[in-house]
């Protein structure tokens, strides 16, 4: 009886060991295959993502080329469209193309200056401001003087603005701006100074411009008193 119990116990141990070994053994090709872990590639795989980026770059390049062509032909609305993209480099390039177009004829320059002056968002640049300063010198009047100073301020270049106010002051001293009283000219110079972008008013050049404006105000105040 004891022998039967021992044999049964040993058989049970063997069966348990056999099941344990079978469970630990990896499945072969005849059993259920072990599935590989899934690999997440994101919303797009590399090929689709690269194609998407390429398409976006082509769209941007196409729009840039279109706006530059419009600007070279004198389409003033190209400037507002470039501004709407919030791409500073694109805006600068379109404005430069329009400034080149404006340099060809006086009518072109007047149209571009008027277009920018009437806008609350569009800015000028150094190229356009200096072109207008030189053109203004040939036939200054009250309206063109105001536009010249305003465009110089919109160029966001302190040195260019100083060049504009020095030209205006020189013509006033020589009696070529009889439409302005001294206090009016001083007010024009100071008010348009605040049109310049804040970052352009900072630094050494901006500080020197502010000091120069103070000196001009004192000079024009003295001129007013003398009159």
Instruction: Give me the count of residues in the chain.
Output: 227
Distance CA(186)–CA(165), nearest Å, equals 10
Start-end of H helices in the chain:
2-24, 46-72, 77-84, 88-102, 106-117, 126-136, 142-154, 158-173, 182-193, 198-201, 203-226
At 5-23, the pLDDT tens digits run 545 555 556 555 565 555 5
- Residue 134 predicted with pLDDT over 70: yes
Distance CA(200)–CA(121), nearest Å, equals 17
pLDDT of residue 56: 67
Distance CA(210)–CA(220), nearest Å, equals 15
Distance CA(23)–CA(148), nearest Å, equals 90
DSSP conformation letters of 135-153:
HHTTS--HHHHHHHHHHHH
CA neighbor of 61 nearest in space, from 100, 84, 90, 88: 90
Buried b (16+ CB within 10 A) or exposed e, 201-227: beeeebeebeebbeebbeebeebeeee
Distance CA(136)–CA(219), nearest Å, equals 23
CA neighbor of 137 nearest in space, from 172, 187, 107: 172
Distance CA(101)–CA(112), nearest Å, equals 9
pLDDT of residue 62: 85
pLDDT of residue 116: 98
The encoded tokens of residue 29 equal: 């090709």
Q: What is the pTM of this model?
A: 0.75
Read off the pLDDT band of 210 (50, 70, 90). very high
């Amino acid at each position: 009886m004891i022998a039967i119990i021992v044999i049964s116990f040993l058989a049970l141990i063997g069966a348990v060991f056999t099941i344990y070994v079978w469970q630990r053994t990896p499945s072969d090709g005849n059993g259920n295959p072990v599935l590989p872990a899934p690999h997440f590639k994101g919303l797009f795989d590399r090929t689709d993502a690269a194609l998407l980026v390429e398409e976006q770059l082509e769209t941007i390049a196409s729009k840039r080329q279109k706006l530059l062509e419009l600007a070279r032909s004198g389409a003033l609305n190209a400037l507002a469209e470039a501004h709407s993209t919030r791409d500073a480099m694109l805006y600068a390039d379109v404005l430069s193309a329009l400034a080149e177009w404006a340099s060809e004829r006086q009518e072109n320059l007047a149209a571009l200056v008027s277009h920018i002056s009437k806008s609350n968002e569009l800015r000028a640049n150094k190229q356009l401001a200096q072109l207008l300063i030189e053109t203004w010198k040939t036939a200054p009047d009250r309206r063109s003087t105001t536009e010249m100073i305003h465009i110089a301020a919109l160029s966001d270049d302190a040195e260019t603005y100083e060049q504009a106010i020095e030209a205006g002051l020189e013509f006033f001293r020589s009696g070529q701006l009889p439409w302005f009283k001294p206090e009016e000219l001083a007010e024009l110079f100071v008010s348009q100074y605040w049109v310049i972008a804040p970052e352009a008013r900072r630094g050494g050049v901006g500080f020197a411009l502010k000091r120069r404006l103070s000196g001009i105000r004192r000079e024009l105040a003295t001129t007013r008193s003398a009159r």
